[in-house]
Amino acid sequence: MATRGTGTSNRGFASMDPDKQRAIAAQGGRAAHAQGVAHEFDSEEARAAGRKGGQARSSRSAESRAANLASADRDIQEIPAASPMHAISDDLPRGGHV
């Protein structure tokens, strides 16, 4: 067993070589099908799952676009503050001397 990532443990499924993980998972899948307890999507169920995923993605995308537009509108509508030098010069006499 080889270590992966930054961990130091050689124990557990996550520390195994990816090919070994895949082989063990495949054995579990075959056993579940043999016992008749594995879930199999029919075409209607798969279609509904795909539709639900597409709606969620579309919703997130629309929310992101709306947030970006609102942020851009705020940036455009903000009036730049006067620089500190303008405030000082307004207090000085017209000749520029104190």
> What residues contact 4, with CB distance under 8 A and at least 6 apart?
14, 15
- Do 17 and 1 contact (CB within 8 A), yes or no? yes
* String of DSSP letters for 18-82: HHHHHHHHHHHHHHHHHHT-S----HHHHHHHHHHHHHHHHHHHHHHHHHHHHHHHHHHHPPPPP
As a whole number of angstroms, the distance between CA 25 and CA 6 comes to 24
pTM strictly above 0.85:
no
- Tell whether the model's pLDDT for residue 6 goes beyond 90: no
pLDDT per position as a tens digit, 29-79: 999 999 999 988 899 999 999 999 888 888 888 888 888 877 776 766 665
